[in-house]
Chain A
Amino acid sequence: MSDEATLTRQQIRRKRKFGEPLLPEEEDETEQEHRHIIAVTLENTIGALNRVTNLFSARGFNLESVAVGETDEPSVARLTLVTVGNDRIVAQITRQLDNLVNTYDVTDLTDAEHVERELCLLKVQYSSETRPEILDIKDIFRGRVVNVTPETMVLEVTGPNKKINAFVGMMEEHGIEEVARSGQVAMHRDLEYEAPNPLASADAAASSENGTADD
């Protein structure tokens, strides 16, 4: 926006409203909605958690998932929330969260290198015919069987959101009885090693694969 020749943000909005074409270099990507993962550290109290979730309903923000738990410091909780919005909305969300008196730190992890995980427990019906396939799928998703009865079994799968979605999708045809998902948790990934070189030896490639195997 610093270039004098470009349109002001207000002019772009007006053009968009009246359906006037924008030149490609003026295309305003900030209006597109994206999924964001935001990590918040806050006072470890019900009141503080309530204030965060209340903010989302009071200001009409989307909230896809919330996961919260204590950190290494018992008085501090860490909350990971997933929301969807354009750049303006997400900037609002982080600033409003930062404004809360009992939040300590607010980080949008979306554009940073990060790992994200969700845990899913899924109870599915099985028969002697479907059993091998269910267990096969479970293996592909690196899941575990945590409980079995003659008609149902409970499977545990961990991974990023998309992987869980795919797993639940694969199980659908077998008759899902119950699904419990924890919500996303996420963390910065420290990059102390060099990015894997595709021309490097097979050993190195294998070890880097292990490094991100769960993805």
Chain B
Amino acid sequence: MPTDSLQSPSRSSTSQNGAVNAPTLKGSEIFVRALEEEGVDRVFGHPGGAVIKIYDAMERIQPSYDHVLVRHEQGGTHAAEGYAKATGRVGTVLVTSGPGATNTVTGIADAYLDSVPIVVFTGQVPTHLIGNDSFQETDTTGVTRSITKHNFLVRDVNELASTVKQAYHIARTGRPGPVVVDIPKDVQMDEAPFVYPEEPGLDGYTVPGAAAPKQVDRAAKMIEDADKPLLYVGGGTINADAPEALTELARKANIPVTTTLHGLGAFPETDDLALGWLGMHGFYHTNMAVQNADLIMAVGARFDDRVTGDVDEWAPNAKIIHVDIDPSCISKNVYADCALIGDAQDVLRQLLPKVEPKDTDDWLAQIDAWRADCPPYEYETPDDEDQIAPESVVEALYNKTKGDAVMVSDVGQHQMWVCQYYKFGKTRSHISSGGLGTMGFGLPAAMGAAFGMREGRDLDVVCVSGDGGFVMNAQELSVAAAHGLPLKIAVLNNNYLGMVRQWQSLFHEDRFSHTDLKPTNPDFVKLAEAHHCVGLRATTPDEIGEVIDQAWAVDDRPVVMEFRVPKEEMVFPMVPSGAASDDMLTEMFNKEKIAES
């Protein structure tokens, strides 16, 4: 097999044919111009030896896009994710070879599992040194192969522009995802005519649009026949900009809606049909609705194990309609009785005229009865006077913003509380690391989202983090400060790795192995101030409102608000890992029940 080219000959010849009157540029200049042509407005990057030519070209050309110098490449990829999720555009990252590239790996894997469109450009050692274990060499395409939607190694400067075009096309279309483009240093220095192709020219790549009409008719019939229908809505709905169509469908046919972590914001939670989220830390009435439904219509959701628990016992009475743009998601975890493969918005628009209004009052009354049986967990104010219930902080943030904010969370207990206690009403208003569960995601993602706000949407960006995750990428604070981003960052500090502690308490007999962070936690107020941010602290319930008001009064830099919360607080309800969805722990310290199971 030829190893000299990753591109098919037909594609490279197209770009060369079109380049009759094109200006001859160096690879580094072609790269900068290609990004301009692609309409990129922001790049998160960090320079190094293998991309120094590109950075030099940027200095000479002064391109139309802005570059944000992050302080760690992982922060850069998460920032690109936050930017992409807040705006719906493709996020862009530029890093050097070797350690620059490997530092992006966590962010790329995160974007892959959460279907976030980002393109990561990595420098590479010169072509003739590839394979020699050269300085700062890693096999970047090899390392990232199983965590990217696709990746490229550009071996010829004539293919650089078309590869950039293809990378953005692949990242943006279909089920979005990360794409890596590895560019050796000699390719950046070689010269070629620059023409930015109009078409990506990818023969083996197709994007589903509308679903098969026959399947749409079948789905409409299944909805008509169902007595206990349920819409189960995931992040794909938001990626397809389908929340409006979804809301129309739910209201027309009176179908209650439950959302996954990434689906939050796709359906207004103040609506009577909104059940809130489902799964491991979902509400009792929501999981009961799942277990008793006779029809579940999944839209842009992938039946993740955090949603289903024991797949064999999940929704035992339900027929499944699955709307997804990725055919490989169909029947992967749960068998789909009717598959609608296509763009969620197109499919819902196909379905809408075929669905008749239906009476689901009995079913909704049944769900209300479950809600009355076991209302969402009512937290208690801690006995200790100088501590704050973490849930009350999320409620206070909701009362301050009334849903008009982009809520970014890190990973852990606080993430679950944000999902439970914040009432999302807007699309693209919730950003979190769901699939990979990346601690350290929150702050840089919030920074990326805040950069996105500057280009159109004007919402407050609020980051909720824990003391464990916040420290993992705290270096990006000074980047947000340098750009004057008015981020509101709430750190719920219980001096523990709270979620791990919860599992240790519930399932490992209170053996708190290495989860106590108190000895290594920094002073969060001083940490903020050291990074040119404002630092505030609340230790009693009375101070919550005060601190939040002070934070919202600052509009020229980030504010870090530390809230001292008790380490004993747990997230409830909880479906233990691998249990059936109706086998929930709804009370605190219900260890007898766990011991039985």
Q: Which of A47-67 contact B (CB under 8 A)?
A: 47, 49-51, 54-55, 58
Q: A92-B328, A101-B149 are in contact. Are A45 and B170 (CB under 8 A)?
A: no
Contact A14 B2 (CB under 8 A): no
Q: A10-B318, A14-B312, A104-B204 are in contact. Are A44 and B328 (CB under 8 A)?
A: no
Contact B312 A17 (CB under 8 A): yes
| Set of chain B residues within 8 Å of A4, measured between Cβ atoms | 225
**B313 near A: Cβ within 8 Å?**
yes
Q: In the complex, A42→B204 CA distance in Å?
A: 8
| Set of chain B residues within 8 Å of A17, measured between Cβ atoms | 312-313
**A208 near B: Cβ within 8 Å?**
no
Q: Which of B421-477 contact A (CB under 8 A)?
A: none
Q: Which of B387-410 contact A (CB under 8 A)?
A: none
Q: A17-B312, A44-B1, A75-B9 are in contact. Are A58 and B146 (CB under 8 A)?
A: yes
Q: In the complex, A25→B319 CA distance in Å?
A: 19
**B8 near A: Cβ within 8 Å?**
yes
Q: In the complex, A111→B205 CA distance in Å?
A: 26
Q: Which of B237-245, B332-340, B531-539, B571-579 contacts A (4 or more CB under 8 A)?
A: B332-340
Q: Which of A170-191 contact B (CB under 8 A)?
A: none
Q: A10-B334, A45-B6 are in contact. Are A101 and B1 (CB under 8 A)?
A: no
Contact A10 B145 (CB under 8 A): no
Contact B328 A101 (CB under 8 A): no
Contact B150 A14 (CB under 8 A): no
Contact A101 B204 (CB under 8 A): yes
Q: In the complex, A214→B297 CA distance in Å?
A: 51
If over half of B's interface residues share one DSSP class (helix, strand or loop), that class is named, otherwise mixed; here it is loop
**A96 near B: Cβ within 8 Å?**
yes
Q: A8-B317, A51-B145 are in contact. Are A100 and B204 (CB under 8 A)?
A: yes
Q: A10-B314, A95-B330 are in contact. Are A88 and B204 (CB under 8 A)?
A: no
| Set of chain B residues within 8 Å of A88, measured between Cβ atoms | 331, 335
Q: Which of B525-559 contact A (CB under 8 A)?
A: none
From the candidates B2, B202, B335, name the one contacting A10 in the complex (CB within 8 A).
B335
Cβ of A79 to closest chain B Cβ, rounded Å: 11
**B250 near A: Cβ within 8 Å?**
no
| Set of chain B residues within 8 Å of A50, measured between Cβ atoms | 142, 145
- Most chain B C-beta atoms within 10 Å of own C-beta, residue among A1, A4, A95, A98: A95
Contact B316 A14 (CB under 8 A): yes
**A91 near B: Cβ within 8 Å?**
yes
Q: Which of B498-534 contact A (CB under 8 A)?
A: none
Contact B335 A47 (CB under 8 A): no
**A103 near B: Cβ within 8 Å?**
yes
Contact B328 A99 (CB under 8 A): yes
**B344 near A: Cβ within 8 Å?**
no
| Set of chain B residues within 8 Å of A144, measured between Cβ atoms | none
| Set of chain A residues within 8 Å of B335, measured between Cβ atoms | 9-10, 13, 88
Q: How many A-B residue pairs have CB under 8 A?
A: 87
Give the interface residue-count category, chain B: 35 or more
**B59 near A: Cβ within 8 Å?**
no
**B3 near A: Cβ within 8 Å?**
yes
Cβ of B51 to closest chain A Cβ, rounded Å: 22
**B231 near A: Cβ within 8 Å?**
no
Contact A45 B318 (CB under 8 A): no
| Set of chain B residues within 8 Å of A51, measured between Cβ atoms | 145
| Set of chain A residues within 8 Å of B145, measured between Cβ atoms | 50-51, 54
Q: A8-B319, A103-B204 are in contact. Are A46 and B3 (CB under 8 A)?
A: yes
| Set of chain A residues within 8 Å of B198, measured between Cβ atoms | none
**B141 near A: Cβ within 8 Å?**
yes
| Set of chain A residues within 8 Å of B202, measured between Cβ atoms | 101
| Set of chain B residues within 8 Å of A96, measured between Cβ atoms | 328
Q: In the complex, A70→B1 CA distance in Å?
A: 8
Q: In the complex, A54→B150 CA distance in Å?
A: 13
| Set of chain A residues within 8 Å of B141, measured between Cβ atoms | 47
**B357 near A: Cβ within 8 Å?**
no
Q: A1-B337, A92-B332 are in contact. Are A45 and B312 (CB under 8 A)?
A: no
**A11 near B: Cβ within 8 Å?**
yes
Contact B313 A45 (CB under 8 A): no
From the candidates A8, A70, A95, name the one contacting B328 in the complex (CB within 8 A).
A95
| Set of chain B residues within 8 Å of A54, measured between Cβ atoms | 145-146
**A37 near B: Cβ within 8 Å?**
no
| Set of chain B residues within 8 Å of A13, measured between Cβ atoms | 311-312, 335
Contact A46 B1 (CB under 8 A): yes
Cβ of A26 to closest chain B Cβ, rounded Å: 14
Closest to B225 in A: A4
Contact A75 B10 (CB under 8 A): yes
Q: A43-B8, A95-B327 are in contact. Are A8 and B318 (CB under 8 A)?
A: yes
**B227 near A: Cβ within 8 Å?**
no
The proximity string for B residues 1-44 relative to A, scoring 1 for CB distances below 8 Å and 0 otherwise, is 11101101110000000000000000000000000000000000
Contact B316 A11 (CB under 8 A): yes
**A152 near B: Cβ within 8 Å?**
no
Contact A45 B5 (CB under 8 A): yes
Give 11 A-B pairs besides A13-B312, A91-B330, A91-B331 with Cβ atoms closer than 8 angstroms.
A8-B316, A9-B335, A10-B317, A43-B204, A44-B2, A46-B1, A50-B142, A55-B146, A92-B331, A99-B326, A104-B204
Can you list 7 A-B pairs with a CB-CB distance of less than 8 A? A9-B320, A14-B313, A50-B142, A54-B146, A75-B8, A92-B332, A99-B326
